[in-house]
Structure 1
């Protein structure tokens, strides 16, 4: 079901694309497999139609190394380095201008704007706005659009299937629906190799990532009868283990996979004075509501946030919100226990 802000169809977007020539495509800051997969799939497809297309990155930060197999990834341009004018800016997998970061300036310079997304948002930033929260991934929507444009192909298929597989956790998350299986079959028929995606993305963890997992597991804190688990990583952990930030991306799913856990949270110092929080749910619990309380967002079962005070403060405020929102019957006693626990860790956290 489309959001109230949606005002078009994929068919209308396809006709609009056919009528224009120059495009910039960009997703959200810190792009994941779905964001990059959807954007690159569209980029390859529009180029196959003879369009002039530039794929952008919202910042100059490096993307996750495990996604380096995606065709065309090496040609993406940091948005701050792109000064050309384009007719159409396509925002993919991003709900608002703030999440475009440096690409917001390119968005503002463009004559026309299209948003294709599966994140519900109360605002819109495009004349053509298509947002379907029921879609398992933005790559599902990109693949549907490419079919309407008659612009599918092997590279498009690999990029789209990567987005579908990563955003559904290899078809294991609550967002899985029949459509994503249909699209997966279509992309494989078009030449995508699921084993390549599995090998390069899901089966290529670094030793530093495993060492971070060991630290995370040693710091697990369980609340509400084991239904809520929380852990954390410090900047020093990354430095001491020779790890990069991407090495920690998989860790939230380790916590979610623990038997009895309904909600999982990991808080990570981000090297710039910010704390990045990742939330996951295994049932109908809405963790996007928690993330939104801190200016973040996402989906009901998977959301993220950025926190701007200390790690110690984050480890009190964010878990408290989780407990009070998701487990109100246990809130008073569990929040008190949380505060006592974090106070006992204050020296370590401030070190």
Structure 2
């Protein structure tokens, strides 16, 4: 709605795009977070960063780098983080509110997803899922459970993973992650999705079972360095 009312649109982003929607786009896919680009732009323009703005930018940096644990974490990330803390960002408060204040309903869903984690491709590919009825029963929104992919990602020995969640309209949203040098962005693009080499997503027209049947062979082929589908990617019950 804001974009429709605007005479000019400026986009700051670190995601690649198939086509631009903004009149001016500042896009750096190599940046760890959009917060990095915005902080450096504000600094370049000598625009003072208030503590409130610093908290917002630091939150974006922390979540996009997985608390500075993902492969995209680089020296620039820490330099920006340092300047944001100097400007008034509160790392402890952000950690408490983002990572240590989960609703009990979310934790109940988390336990369901954790119990469904399975691996294929000799333990190199992990997957799990939450059905739309799981979200409804637990009282969790679809936006709220995006972080559940990190549960699947945390399995030892896994190189790539996928977390699927059912949407109210019958489609399936897939979140892909890579813990290695394997680039999963091409798998997302296969389903008209997008993202980075280590973090991408897509929307699938069909059931969760259909989505698993479609995506697991591609992920198996990736970790095996193959151009064709793997032979043991059938999902477990």
Q: Same fold (TM over 0.5)?
A: yes
What is the rounded CA distance, in whole Å, between the counterparts of 2:141 and 2:26 in structure 1? 35
Deviation (angstroms), 1:245: 2.3
> Which residue does 1:46 correspond to in 2?
none
Aligned residue runs from structure 1 range 157-236, under 5 A: 157-236=54-133
**Compared with structure 1, are the counterparts of its residues 189 and 230 closer, same or farther at alpha carbon in structure 2 (3 Å cutoff)?**
same
Structure 1 regions of 5+ residues with no counterpart? 1-78, 83-102, 346-351
Deviation (angstroms), 1:331: 4.2
Deviation (angstroms), 1:139: 0.5
What is the rounded CA distance, in whole Å, between the counterparts of 2:38 and 2:103 in structure 1? 31
Secondary structure in structure 1 of the residue aligned to 2:231: helix
What is the rounded CA distance, in whole Å, between the counterparts of 1:114 and 1:252 in structure 2? 30
> Which residue does 1:149 correspond to in 2?
45
- Deviation string 1:97-149 (CA, Å, 9 cap, x unpaired) is xxxxxx4x34xx62x34332111234333443321111100011011111122
The answer to whether the aligner puts 1:333 opposite 2:224 as a matched pair is no
The answer to whether the aligner puts 1:308 opposite 2:205 as a matched pair is yes
The answer to whether the aligner puts 1:295 opposite 2:192 as a matched pair is yes
The answer to whether the aligner puts 1:248 opposite 2:145 as a matched pair is yes
What is the rounded CA distance, in whole Å, between the counterparts of 1:178 and 1:141 in structure 2? 14
TM-score when scaled to structure 2?
A: 0.91
What is the rounded CA distance, in whole Å, between the counterparts of 1:250 and 1:120 in structure 2? 21
> Which residue does 2:34 correspond to in 1?
138
What is the rounded CA distance, in whole Å, between the counterparts of 2:59 and 2:86 in structure 1? 14
The answer to whether the aligner puts 1:258 opposite 2:155 as a matched pair is yes
The answer to whether the aligner puts 1:128 opposite 2:29 as a matched pair is no
TM-score when scaled to structure 1?
A: 0.63
What is the rounded CA distance, in whole Å, between the counterparts of 2:134 and 2:23 in structure 1? 45
Q: Say which structure is richer in helix.
A: 1
- Deviation string 1:20-78 (CA, Å, 9 cap, x unpaired) is xxxxxxxxxxxxxxxxxxxxxxxxxxxxxxxxxxxxxxxxxxxxxxxxxxxxxxxxxxx
Q: Is the 8 A contact 1:205 1:247 kept in 2?
A: no
Matched residue count: 235
Deviation (angstroms), 1:212: 1.4
Q: Is the 8 A contact 1:206 1:247 kept in 2?
A: no
What is the rounded CA distance, in whole Å, between the counterparts of 2:45 and 2:85 in structure 1? 19
What is the rounded CA distance, in whole Å, between the counterparts of 1:156 and 1:277 in structure 2? 31
**Compared with structure 1, are the counterparts of its residues 149 and 210 closer, same or farther at alpha carbon in structure 2 (3 Å cutoff)?**
same
- Deviation string 1:253-297 (CA, Å, 9 cap, x unpaired) is 111111101111111101222211001110111111111111111
Q: Is the 8 A contact 2:159 2:223 kept in 1?
A: no
Deviates more, 1:252-261 or 1:144-153: 144-153
Q: Is the 8 A contact 2:119 2:126 kept in 1?
A: yes
